[in-house]
Structure 1
Amino acid sequence: MGRILFDTATSIDGCIADDENSLAWLFAVENGHSPDDALLPADATVLVEGSTTYEWVLAESDILAHPERWGQFHGDRPTFVFTTRELPKPEGADIRFVQGPVASVLPTIRAAAGAGDVWVVGGGDLAGQFLDAGALDEIAISVAPVFLTGGAPLFPRRIGSERLRLRSAEAVGQFARLVYEVRAATE
Structure 2
Amino acid sequence: MPALTYLVATSLDGFIADSDGGFSSFSVEGDHIAHLIAAYPETLPAHARAALGIDEPGLHFDTVVMGWNTFAVGLAEGLTSPYPHLRQLVFSRRDRSAEVGEGVEVIAGNPRDVIDELRAGPGQRDIWLCGGGQLAGQLVESIDRLVLKVNPVVIGAGIPLFGTSGISPAAFELAGPPRPFESGVVFLEYRRA
Range of TM-score over shorter length: 0.7 to 0.9
Gaps of 5+ in 1: none
**Residues 112 and 58 of structure 1, relative CA distance in 2, 3 Å threshold:** farther
TM-score, normalising length: structure 2: 0.76
Q: Which residue of the partner structure matches residue 192 of structure 2?
A: 182
User: Residues of 2 paired with 1:53 and 1:113: CA distance?
Assistant: 26
Q: Which residue of the partner structure matches residue 148 of structure 1?
A: 155
User: Does the CA-based 8 Å contact 1:47-1:79 persist in structure 2?
Assistant: yes
Matched AA of 1:153: P
Does 1:51 pair with 2:68?
A: yes
In structure 1, which of residues 63, 67, 84 is the aligned counterpart of residue 79 of structure 2? 63
Q: What is the deviation of 1:137?
A: 0.6
Q: What is the deviation of 1:180?
A: 0.6
**Structure with a larger share of its residues in strand:** 1
User: Residues of 2 paired with 1:86 and 1:171: CA distance?
Assistant: 41
Q: What is the deviation of 1:104?
A: 2.4
Q: What is the deviation of 1:29?
A: 5.0
Deviations 1:52-89 (A, max 9, x none): 00011221x2225xx6xx3xxx2421111010123201
User: Does the CA-based 8 Å contact 2:136-2:161 persist in structure 1?
Assistant: no
Q: Which residue of the partner structure matches residue 89 of structure 1?
A: 100
Q: Which residue of the partner structure matches residue 86 of structure 2?
A: 77
User: Does the CA-based 8 Å contact 1:82-1:99 persist in structure 2?
Assistant: yes
User: Does the CA-based 8 Å contact 2:6-2:147 persist in structure 1?
Assistant: yes
- Larger CA deviation: 30-39 vs 168-177: 30-39
User: Does the CA-based 8 Å contact 1:26-1:32 persist in structure 2?
Assistant: no
User: Residues of 2 paired with 1:10 and 1:128: CA distance?
Assistant: 15
User: Residues of 2 paired with 1:172 and 1:116: CA distance?
Assistant: 28
Q: What is the deviation of 1:36?
A: 2.7
**Residues 155 and 85 of structure 1, relative CA distance in 2, 3 Å threshold:** same
- Aligned-CA RMSD value: 2.5
**Residues 19 and 39 of structure 1, relative CA distance in 2, 3 Å threshold:** farther
User: Does the CA-based 8 Å contact 1:6-1:119 persist in structure 2?
Assistant: yes
User: Residues of 1 paired with 2:144 and 2:4: CA distance?
Assistant: 5
**Residues 131 and 113 of structure 1, relative CA distance in 2, 3 Å threshold:** farther
**Residues 7 and 103 of structure 1, relative CA distance in 2, 3 Å threshold:** same
User: Residues of 2 paired with 1:18 and 1:51: CA distance?
Assistant: 16
Q: Which residue of the partner structure matches residue 18 of structure 1?
A: 18
User: Residues of 2 paired with 1:48 and 1:8: CA distance?
Assistant: 12
User: Does the CA-based 8 Å contact 1:2-1:113 persist in structure 2?
Assistant: no
Q: Which residue of the partner structure matches residue 132 of structure 2?
A: 123
Give 3-state SS (helix, strand or coil) of 1:79's partner. strand
User: Does the CA-based 8 Å contact 2:84-2:103 persist in structure 1?
Assistant: no
